[in-house]
Structure 1
Amino acid sequence: MKVLWAVMAVFIVLLQVRLWVGEGSFAQVWQLQDKIDVQKAENAKLANRNERLYAEVLNLRSGQGAIEERARMNLGLIRKDETFFLVVEP
């Protein structure tokens, strides 16, 4: 009977070792959870950046300011209350 108890105790210890040290152990799960937390923080930062870029794209697509700036640079747009000066190089 004592041999049976000894075998069971060794078996329980072996199961505990695998639980604490082996693959899929608590230590590995904790390490992976830390990596997940770091990755989630990085993803949140990148999502924020993507939202700002998306808002800028929408502004460029629908905003009159972007269209007006492009017309000024490429087409020479002048408003009513503005004065146009043309500088000619000799």
Structure 2
Amino acid sequence: MRIFGVLLVLLFLLLQYQLWVGDGSLAEVWRLGQAVERQRAENRQLRERNQALDAEVRDLKQGLEAVEERARTELGMIRRDELFYQVVEPAADGGGD
């Protein structure tokens, strides 16, 4: 009977080891859960970026307004019939009379 009790204790310890340290342990499950959450957050960010890019592509395909806006802001372009005014602020070094 004593050997049976020792075997039961050893079996219990073996099961506890697998629960806490072995394959499929609680620590591994927790680590994998954290990895899944990080991946979901990254997927959300990428989905938002893709939606913004998709909207920009649709704007560029639909008309010239988006192309014109981009040319004005990024390249500083103006139309032929427009006048360009550049306002220059005086230097802030206080060296004027």
Correspondence for 2:27: 27
Decide which structure has greater helix share.
1
- Distance in 2, matches of 1:46 and 1:39, equals 10
- Distance in 1, matches of 2:45 and 2:62, equals 26
Correspondence for 1:2: 2
* 1:23-78, Cα deviation, whole Å (9 max, x unpaired): 211101101110110111011001100000000000000134136x3xx9xxxx76
CA RMSD in angstroms, aligned pairs only? 2.1
* Aligned partner letter, 1:55: A
For structure 2, the 5+ residue unaligned runs are 72-78, 84-97
Moved over 3 A (4+): none
TM-score between the two structures when normalised by the length of structure 1: 0.71
- Distance in 2, matches of 1:59 and 1:11, equals 67
Structure 1 residue 83: Cα displacement: 5.4
5 Å-filtered alignment, 1:30-69, equals: 30-66=30-66, 69=68
Identical columns (%)? 39
Tell me: higher relative CO, structure 1 or 2? Use CA pairs within 8 A at least 6 residues apart: 1
* Aligned partner letter, 1:61: K
For structure 1, the 5+ residue unaligned runs are 85-90
